[in-house]
Structures are given as structure tokens and as C-alpha cells.
Amino acid sequence: MSVTPAPLRLRTPAFLVDQLVVLVAVCLPVVLSGVSFSALLTPGDTRTIVFLLLMAAAFLYHFLFEWQTGETIGKRLFGLTVISDDGSALEFRGSLFRNALRLIDGLGYWSVAVAVILYRGDGKRIGDVVGRTIVVRR
């Protein structure tokens, strides 16, 4: 089955919405707990912990939402969904590999992901290739 990848002009704003969701979900509780803003900007344990929380939250958010529904909040707002290459619903393995490789795709402010998508011409970042997934319009 042939599927058409979603264009970057839709994937980019969906991604930005998802980043905002994760940022608020992690930073709001941190700030409400009384951690000062300056502590978040100063190298040290607090900043490291918040960074690790952001990484874990981003992975879990994308992995769980995409595995269960094929969509994150950002993707839903922009009419996108993640499916397997063969057009079937996204499965556990595909979501796991796709999202585990976000660390590589995210290097250089996501320039690696954009470069791979543009170079390959099939709308896939490294995580999509390994996970055998594709982002499409609903």
C-alpha cells in the first residue's frame, strides 16, 4: 500500500505544539514546587534533573500517545497521524523505535531530522526509517 507523507509545513507546527505541551507539563510542576528560575539557568543538579525530566517526558509523551492513538496533541490539531509503512495502525515496536531515535533526530535543534527528511524525499526521519513508520494526513 502506498501512503503519502505529511508535509513539513504541517509537521513543524504540530511538533512545536507538542514541545510546548511537554515543556509546560515538566516546568509547571518544577516552578510550582518552589525551584527558582535562576536555579534552572545555573549549571548544577537542579538543571540536570529538569533536563532529564524533559527528555523522559518527551519520550513518554510521544511514545505513549502515538502507540495508543497514532497521534499526539499537536498531530491531532494539524490533522496528522503516525502509521506503519504498510498503512496499518502503529504498533508498540514502531512507536518505541521511532521515539527512541528522537535523540539523534533532535540534534542541532532538529536540523538532523529536517535534513534527513529533505534528503530522503519520502518524508521520513531516522526514527521513521528504523521504526518503519510514516506521518500522514488523517
Q: pLDDT of 19-61, one tens digit each?
A: 999 988 887 887 787 777 677 677 778 778 878 888 898 899 9
Q: pLDDT of 79-112, one tens digit each?
A: 999 999 999 999 999 999 999 998 888 777 788 8
Distances (CA, A) of 99 to 42, 71, 76, 91, 129: 29, 13, 17, 12, 11
**One-letter amino acid of 60:** L
**Per-residue confidence band for 1, with pLDDT thresholds at 50, 70 and 90:** low
Asked if 75 and 113 touch (Cβ cutoff 8 Å), the reply is no
- The pLDDT value recorded for residue 60 is 95
- The pLDDT value recorded for residue 127 is 94
Q: Output the pTM of the full model.
A: 0.84
The CA distance from 118 to 8, in Å, is 9
Nearest CA to 13 out of 107, 76, 67, 92 is that of: 76
The CA distance from 83 to 94, in Å, is 9
**One-letter amino acid of 128:** D
